[in-house]
Structure formats: C-alpha cells, structure tokens
Amino acid sequence: MKFSLITMSALLLFTSPAITSAKIIKKNEIKKTFDEDHGWWWYEEEVLDENETKTTIKYKISPEAKREIESQKETQKLLQLLIKQQIISNQLNKDIKDRLDYAFPDTVPKYTTNKKTGKKCLTNSSKDCFVMPIIAEGQQVPALKAFLRNPSPENSKNWLQWQGTYFNHVSNVSHGLRFAFLKDGAEAYPTETAYAYGDNLFNPRALDLKTKRERDTLKSMKEEIAYLIFIGESLAFEKSTDIFVDLETLSRGYMKDMNKALIFSSKESYNRMERYANNVLKNDKTKQSLYNGWSKIKKSIRPNLFKTYNIVMTPAAVAYIKTKEMKKPLFQTISVGNITRNKIRENTIEFLKYSGILKGADFSADKNWNSLEKDSKMLKKQVELPKRELPKNHKNGDGEEYEKDK
C-alpha cells in the first residue's frame, strides 16, 4: 500500500477527532514504537493548539508505509541538496559571465544603418556601414572608447585628461620603486643593482666593480671549484678561434690560481697540439705568452670523461663545485666554444646563483663599492679602477663634456 505524506496527514485527522478543529501551532519531537503483536508502528506526538493546550495524538502505520515515508523523506533531502548546489552553480556561472563580459565586452553592434541608403546593414561590411572597432582592452576604458567612437572636443579633452592622470600615476610608480631602493638598498631590491646609485650608464664604474667582486669571489672559492677544459676534437672551429689564445687567458688573472686541467679524448689529439706548441709557438718570440699559457696548464687523456659529460664539441668547460655545505659535488658544463677566463667567470657566477650557492644581492652596488673601500684600507693606498676611453665630446648626465682619456 502506498503511503504518502498527504495520506499520513489525513490519517491524523480521522484518528484524532479531538484536534480536528484545533489549529496546530507547535509540534514536539515524535515518539515512535513498534507493536510486535500487530506488526505496525505507533507514533505519538504532542502538539499545542490555539489555546496553548497540549494534546497528544497517536496514529499507526504499517512497516511498508513507514518505509515509503522514509524513502520520500530521503528523496526530499536529496532534492533540497540538488537545489542548493544548483543555486551555487548559477552564482558561479554568473560570476564567470560578468568577468568575461568585462574582459571581452561585445559592444560593437552586429548591425548598423547604411549611411547612404538608410537601410539596415552588417556592421563594417562596407564604408557606408562603418562603426569604429575597438578591441577589448580599449572598451575597458570608457574614456578611450568614447573618444575613438566620437572624437568630439569634449571627448578628446576627457581622453587627454585621463591620459595625463595615467602618466602621472605611472611616474609615481617608477619614483616609488626608486625611492624605496635609495632608502633600503639591497634589502628592498636583493638583485645585482650595478647601476643603482646614479652611475653613468655609458661608462659604468659599478660594472667594473661587479667584475672585480666576481673575480674575488671565485678566488676565495679556489679550493671548492675546479675546471675541466675539453679540447682537441672540433679542429676546424678551434683553429678558426685560435684556441691557444683562449688558453693563454687561463694562465693570467684570477684563473692562474684556479684548479684546472686540459682533457683530451686521445693521445693523437694531445700529440697534435703538443707538436704545434713546441714547433711553432715555442720558437716564435711573438707567441711566447701563448706557449707559456699552454705549458702551465695540467693535461690529461681521459676519453671516458667526454662520454660522462656528453661533450659533443670543443672547446668546452665543465665546472666541478663542492662546498663544505654540500653533500654531493655539482658538475656543470658552463661554456662551449668560448673558454676565455671572462666567459668562464661570468657563467660560473651565474651557475652559482642558479644553484643557490650565491645570491644576486651578494653583488649589489653597495657591496661592490664597499669591497673597494675594504681593499683600499688593506693596501693602505687608494685602489683605482682602470681608465676607460670615451668618445670625444661625449656629454655625461650633467651636460658636461668628457675629454678622451690619454
């Protein structure tokens, strides 16, 4: 027997004549018990009528009817949950539509009036159906949209005023960044700020200091860094770039104290370069520095290392890095084709920053200048940067003319 909520309500009315004329104001919790002898459920419920008088009503239903009612209640709960989720979904869809309407507004009419015939026509299908098209970004700025659609004196003035306000704001943005840096330096902007203190961009002294700091940093890490220089395979390329000139740079400056070795893939390639050094460089007085650079570097024939580090072209430089804090060493190819000490310095510093061993703020302008002050005190004399040539009559930032260094 189907037993709906409506049937249950009708049953209450017929089984409780005492309250048929009463208006139920409040219901208490329903008490239910199972009658095993008769096989049905008894329900007792206290209600308050219009006079606030408690009345107990009692009714019975079969187990089948009870299951039907409970099933209907579960269905009702599910429907309520679905309705709630639908409300949430509708709101999300509305938010998405609002955002899309703002980002991609569609305000260009699909149809307009033909200026010649006065008839309806497709927008921008001809010169007589012209409507100024405006991209989405332009439509987000009503002052711009109005000006482009109708460049009247009033709209033009309004657009110029908006532009002025915009450029003033952008100017404040740039000044805010600048003043924040001037106030807190590397703390506010922890990067390599080589030109941050009013240095001349054409002839930046801070750049020389940055190079010096990088050299000093690598010299201080000479027990933690070593270089494997792979040569002798790409003969045409090495000859065109004069490999011995590049090798000579590794015997000077900060690189002369760094651990390094030339790696060959075979005895043949080693002998070829050794013969050239002994027969050509050694006997030519103008190339003694090249011979000295060659002779001062350690050499090793290790074909297995070419495979280990996937060397497909020479010359190539691989850095070995092992600091006290590191559990395992790092190996990294840092240069291919150019193995001068400047290129190795630049790429090694970048890799140390990339690996988190160094930070960009370690080479900020204030620290670079402070390092020069420290060296001056240590040497008890003024440490000068090398002079740099400038074009004659070049004006600096103050409008003064530089004279070419003599």
CATH number of 292's domain: 3.40.30
Question: What Rg, from alpha-carbon coordinates, does the chain have?
Answer: 43
Last residue of a domain, one of 41, 68, 103: 103
Cβ-based burial of 210 (10 A; exposed 0-12, middle 13-18, buried ≥19): buried
The residue with greater pLDDT, 359 or 205, is 359
Within 8 A by CB and 6+ apart from 105, the residues are 136, 139, 140
Last residue of a domain, one of 347, 363, 379: 363
Q: Examine residue 210 and state whether it is found in any structural domain, yes or no.
A: no
Chain-centroid distance, C-alpha 111: 43
β-pairing, 120-122 vs 225-230, is: unpaired
Q: Examine residue 55 and state whether it is found in any structural domain, yes or no.
A: yes
* Average pLDDT rounded to a whole number, residues 11-35: 44
Spatial CA neighbour of 322 closest among 224, 184, 217: 224
Q: Which range marks the domain in which residue 80 is found?
A: 1-103
Query: Which range, of 21-25, 110-114, 122-126, averages the lowest pLDDT?
Result: 21-25
In this predicted structure, what is the pLDDT of residue 44? 62
Express each pLDDT in 213-260 by its tens digit: 889 899 999 999 999 999 988 888 888 888 999 899 998 888 988 999
In this predicted structure, what is the pLDDT of residue 2? 42
Mean predicted lDDT score pLDDT of the chain: 78
* Calpha distance 166→170 (Å, rounded): 6
Q: Are 255 and 229 in contact (CB under 8 A)?
A: no
* Average pLDDT rounded to a whole number, residues 124-151: 86
In this predicted structure, what is the pLDDT of residue 106? 67
In this predicted structure, what is the pLDDT of residue 238? 86
* Average pLDDT rounded to a whole number, residues 53-76: 71
In this predicted structure, what is the pLDDT of residue 180? 86
Distances (CA, A) of 180 to 183, 186, 195, 363, 384: 5, 10, 15, 19, 30
In this predicted structure, what is the pLDDT of residue 362? 80
pTM recorded for the entire structure:
0.57
Q: How many Cβ atoms from other residues are within 10 Å of residue 108's Cβ?
A: 14
- Going by pLDDT thresholds of 50, 70 and 90, the confidence category of residue 400 is very low
DSSP at 117: T
The number of folded domains in the chain is: 2
* Calpha distance 13→307 (Å, rounded): 95
* Average pLDDT rounded to a whole number, residues 345-353: 93
Q: Examine residue 195 and state whether it is found in any structural domain, yes or no.
A: no
* Calpha distance 96→90 (Å, rounded): 10
The residue with greater pLDDT, 49 or 127, is 127
SS3 content of the chain, % helix, strand, coil (to 5): 50, 15, 35
Quote the percentage of the chain above a pLDDT of 70. 71
Last residue of a domain, one of 60, 80, 103: 103
Q: Examine residue 19 and state whether it is found in any structural domain, yes or no.
A: yes
Q: Examine residue 5 and state whether it is found in any structural domain, yes or no.
A: yes
**Quick one: tokens of 166?**
């915009």
Q: Examine residue 372 and state whether it is found in any structural domain, yes or no.
A: no
